């Protein structure tokens, strides 16, 4: 369960988070949704296909991405959120940012969750900001930043190390009074493809943290590089790994393709229902 705007959302039934990158340079959909019409069409499509959340990103976090000035990230994020709130009131919006000022502005415009790829590492004010805003916080594991992370994938035991990392972060957040926390292992962020598959295979181990688990596998390089294809042809692989993620305990799938993810959720939920009966 997480509390969103004063109501409890049950995550025992898996949910889908639709990705909306309002950036020119994201790895898969960069430049597609920078205009108002494109944003509204994509949001309408994702909501119609069953997305519970829309995750708005205004600063690319693809490997090697250049830093975006905070003013530009603020402009992109707040424009998109205002547009969505006006045209699709009641939509549950998440802001994908590592900057506390952007998170605060986004929540004031109508965002209801904060999705931070850095788990507070890139902004020392993030945890206190989350606590003051009283919104759920998605805590993702990453080392370094998008420009340096590919060189920081040296782990002795990635599963154990990342679970321990989350344990410490969750303790600190609890000390700040934050209890609605979702953990994201950060597939593709300072992890090799083989480490990503190890994390996916061991995803159920993250259940010891007692927090909902988000899996962000959509069209990631661990899929398309392994299969020798490109992100445009990685939907089938994404569906395969999303199925494994749900079977291993994921509560939220963060995806570019909502319809296909909802089909996975519905089929896996049906199997679980039959097995429990």
Handedness of CA 117, 119, 121, 123 (dihedral sign): positive
Give the DSSP per-residue string, 24-87.
Answer: S--TTTTTTT-SHHHHHHHHHHHHHTT-SEEEEE-S--STTPPP--HHHHHHHHHHHHHHHHHH
CB 2 within 8 A of CB 251: no
CB 142 within 8 A of CB 149: yes
- Catalytically annotated residue among 254, 259, 272, 273: 254
Phi, psi of 253 (to 5 degrees): -105, 120
211 is catalytic: no
Residue linked to tokens 């940012």: 97
- Catalytically annotated residue among 32, 191, 219, 220: 220
Cα end-to-end distance, the chain, whole Å: 23
220 is catalytic: yes
Write out the two tokens for 209: 């943290």
Write out the two tokens for 157: 């035991």
* Catalytic residue annotation: 220, 254
């Amino acid at each position: 369960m997480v509390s969103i705007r004063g109501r409890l959302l049950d995550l025992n039934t898996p949910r889908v988070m639709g990705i909306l990158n309002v950036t020119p340079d994201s790895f898969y959909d960069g430049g597609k949704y920078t205009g108002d019409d494109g944003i509204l069409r994509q949001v309408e499509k994702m909501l119609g296909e069953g997305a519970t959340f829309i995750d708005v990103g205004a600063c690319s976090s693809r490997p090697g991405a250049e830093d975006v000035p905070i003013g530009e990230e603020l402009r992109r994020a707040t424009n998109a959120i205002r547009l969505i709130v006006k045209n699709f009131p009641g939509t549950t919006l998440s802001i994908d940012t590592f900057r506390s000022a952007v998170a605060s502005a986004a929540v004031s415009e109508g965002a209801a969750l904060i999705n931070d790829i850095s788990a507070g590492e890139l902004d020392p004010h993030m945890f206190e900001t989350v606590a003051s805003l009283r919104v759920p916080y998605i805590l993702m594991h990453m080392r370094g930043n998008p420009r340096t992370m590919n060189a920081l994938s040296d782990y002795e035991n990635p599963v154990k190390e990342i679970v321990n990392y989350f344990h410490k972060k969750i303790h600190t957040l609890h000390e700040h009074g934050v209890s609605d926390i979702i953990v994201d292992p950060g597939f593709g962020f300072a992890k090799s493809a083989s480490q990503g598959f190890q994390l996916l295979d061991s995803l159920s181990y993250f259940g010891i943290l007692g927090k909902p688990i988000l899996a962000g596998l959509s069209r990631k390089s661990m899929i398309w590089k392994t299969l020798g294809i490109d992100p445009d042809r990685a939907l089938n692989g994404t569906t395969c790994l999303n199925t494994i993620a749900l079977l291993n305990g994921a509560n939220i799938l963060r995806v570019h393709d909502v319809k296909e993810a909802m089909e996975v959720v519905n089929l896996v939920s049906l199997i679980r229902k039959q097995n429990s009966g």
